[in-house]
Amino acid sequence: MQHFTLVTKQLSLAIDFSQYFSDHGCFVDTVEHPSDCATKIQQKNSSALFWDLSSFPWEASQPELTKLREQFKLPITLIGASKPFIAAFAAGIDDVLTLPLDFETTFARLQQRMRLYQPTTSPSSQQPIPNHKIILDDVTIDRQKYKAFKHGQDLGLTPKELKLLIYLVEQRPRVLSRQQLLAGVWGDIYDISQTSRMVDMHISHLRDKIEPNPKQPTRIKTVRGFGYHFVGNCQEI
pLDDT at 192: 46
231 three-class SS: coil
> What's the pLDDT score for residue 189?
52
What is residue 187's predicted lDDT score, i.e. its pLDDT?
67
Name the helix (H) or strand (E) containing 37.
helix 37-44
79 forms bridges with which residues in the sheet? 52, 97
The pLDDT of residue 127:
45
What's the CA gap between 147 and 144, in Å, rounded?
A: 8
pLDDT in tens, 83-93: 657 888 888 99
What do you get for the CA distance between the two ends of the chain, in Å? 16
How many Cα atoms within 13 Å fall on the side-chain side of residue 8?
27
3 state DSSP class of 100: coil
The 10s digit of each residue's pLDDT in 35-94 is 999 999 998 889 999 999 999 999 999 999 999 999 999 999 999 877 657 888 888 999
Beta bridge partners of 39: none
Q: Is the peptide bond before 119 cis (omega within 30 degrees of 0)?
A: no
Residue type at 120 in one-letter notation = T
Using 70 as the pLDDT threshold, list the residues of the chain that sit under it.
1, 83-84, 119-131, 187-196
